[in-house]
Amino acid sequence: MPPNSRPHRILVVDDDPDILVYLSMLLEDNGYVVESAGDTASAFAAVDRFRPDLVLVDVLMPGRSGLDLVVTLRRDSRWKDIPVIVITGNDQVLHDDCKTYLGAHDGIRAPEGVLGKPMDPHTLLDAVRNLSSSFRLSDTFS
C-alpha cells in the first residue's frame, strides 16, 4: 500500500484517563504519534490543531457522545474523510446505535470500525494498521 495513506497521527478520545494513557502508550510504542482528549469538545479542538489521520473515539461519555463527534467531523468539509474507529463497552451501541444513530443523519458515513471494550490490543493495532481503505471491521464485534 502507498506509504502516504498509512495513518501516522492518531487522536484518542475517552473520558477515562487510564484508557487514554493506555491507548496512547500502546500506539506510540507501535510507531504512531498520538494526541488524546477527554471529551468531545476538546476532541474537536484537537482535530483542528493536530490534524489526525485517524480518530479513535469512545462512545459513551458525559456530555456529547462520541457519535456526536463522528457526525460533526463528517459534516465538516475539512475532516469528513478522516477514518474513525469507535470503541465502546456497550453492546447495544456496538450492534445497533451506530447504524441507527448515524443512519438518522443523512449522508453520514458509518465509522470505519467499531471495537468493543475490553479490546484485544492486537485487534486494535490491526484495525489501525489496515485503515488504508474504509472497510467496516464487522468481524471484530465481540
Point out which residues bind another protein (CB under 8 A). Answer: 15-16, 18-19, 21-23, 25-26, 29, 38, 60-63, 65, 88-91, 116-119, 121
Q: Which is nearer to another protein, 56 or 82 (CB)?
A: 56
**By C-beta, is 79 or 121 nearer to another protein?**
121
Nearest distance in Å: CB 23, another protein:
8
Q: How far is the CB of 116 from another protein (least distance, A)?
A: 7
Whichever of 1 and 122 has its CB closer to another protein, that residue is 122
Please state whether beta strands 54-58 and 84-88 pair in parallel, antiparallel, or not at all (unpaired).
parallel
- Smallest separation, CB 104 to another protein (Å): 18
For residue 58 the three cell numbers come to: 469512545
Give the bridge partners for 20, in sequence order.
none
H/E segment holding residue 79: none
